[in-house]
Amino acid sequence: MTAESRRERVEEHDSVKVCVRIRPLSSKEKQEQTKSCIRITASMDGLSNSNAKSSRDTSFGQSKEPQQLIVGKDRAFTFDNILGTTTSQSDTYKTCVEPLVQGFLEGYNATVLAYGQTGTGKTHTMAGTGFDARGLEKNGELQGIIPRVSEFIIRSRGCAQLILKLFMLLLAISR
């Protein structure tokens, strides 16, 4: 990689990126016939999602254009990426995290922060249900971000021995 292409890569990834993942309705919410109050009015590579089956259940990937989330009748929020209710763990990783990990391996700093209310899917997204400390291959599709990053770093180094320091902070404030 030339110095010029490295500079372009840094400029492309030098700011904070915000990805939002919308969890599907829970069994209880479906049983109570709860309706989602969220609409996604996003574009992906300039294409509107108006032809999608349902803007509430659409999965979006990386877009060069900001994507907008409508909450209720009149609240709009803009994000770099909006991941709909059908987005897989793999697509979440590839869209929001893999570019950071690749930059990290080139010497850049990277942070992934999961934030939200209780029950919104932070632990599922970060750890998944396919993680097993004895082996990362337990259930690949259900793996969260942490095991995917660990596996990517270990495999990309191709070393017989690798010392990896992972710091994880879980902060919960209850009243």
Binding residues for ATP: 116-123
Calpha distance 128→124 (Å, rounded)? 4
Query: Among candidates 138, 139, 112, 111, which has minimal Cα distance to 125?
Result: 112
Tell whether the torsion through CA atoms of 97, 102, 104 and 105 is positive or negative. positive
Dihedral (C-alpha) 5, 7, 12, 18: value to the nearest 10 degrees?
A: 130
Query: Among candidates 139, 97, 145, which has minimal Cα distance to 124?
Result: 145
Annotated binding residues, as ranges?
116-123
Distances (CA, A) of 18 to 21, 22, 45, 97: 10, 13, 17, 11
Tokens 């004895």: give the residue: 134
